Structures are given as C-alpha cells and as structure tokens.
C-alpha cells in the first residue's frame, strides 16, 4: 500500500469482516479508527455536503420558485450522482 492508502472502510461501514489483510514489509505506522467514530465522521461529511448543496440551490435564481420539497429532491439527487 502507498502512504495515505486505506483498507477496511467497507467493513466499518457495513459491519462485515474485512475482505483482505495487509502485512508490512518494512517498519511502518498504522492509524486505526473504531466503527462508531468512522461512521460518525462519514455521516458528518455527508451532512456537510448536503448542507452545501442546499445553500447553493437557495442562491440559484432558477430554483427560486421551486417548493421546499422539490429543492430537497434536487440536492439529494445531486448527492447521489
């Protein structure tokens, strides 16, 4: 693995066993995070992204007449893309 690479994130997200193991060939440093902390960090990043999208849509004149529910659907879809 290269510096900055990661493994096990899917296991942390989906509460499943890791699908691979990594063995160090040289002395290295390992950074670990527990499932709860990882999931909270991911959820916070998603919340920030959705809030940023919502703020952007609120500033675009084209969407000014859209209902709140329609705007929510728009920024939710933007996040799925």
Domain presence at residue 15: yes
Name the maximum alpha-carbon separation found in the chain. Answer: 60
Residue span of the structural domain in which 64 resides:
9-80
> Which among 59, 57, 49 is positioned nearest to 80, based on CA atoms?
49
pLDDT recorded at residue 44: 95
pTM above 0.85, yes or no: no
Contact 17, 11 (CB under 8 A): yes
What is the number of domains present in the chain? 1
Domain presence at residue 35: yes
Domain presence at residue 2: no
Domain presence at residue 43: yes
Distance from C-alpha of 56 to C-alpha of 75, rounded to nearest angstrom: 9
Domain presence at residue 53: yes
Domain presence at residue 74: yes
Each residue's pLDDT tens digit, 24-64: 888 888 888 888 898 999 999 988 988 888 888 888 888 88
Judged against a pLDDT cut of 90, whether residue 11 lies above it is answered with no
């Amino acid at each position: 693995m290269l510096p900055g690479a990661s493994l096990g994130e899917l296991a942390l997200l989906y509460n499943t066993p890791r699908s691979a193991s990594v063995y160090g060939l040289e002395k290295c440093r390992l950074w670990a995070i527990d499932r709860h902390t990882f999931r909270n960090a991911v959820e916070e990043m998603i919340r920030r992204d959705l809030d940023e999208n919502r703020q952007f849509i609120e500033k675009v004149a084209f969407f000014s007449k859209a209902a709140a529910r329609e705007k929510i659907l728009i920024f939710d879809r933007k996040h799925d893309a």
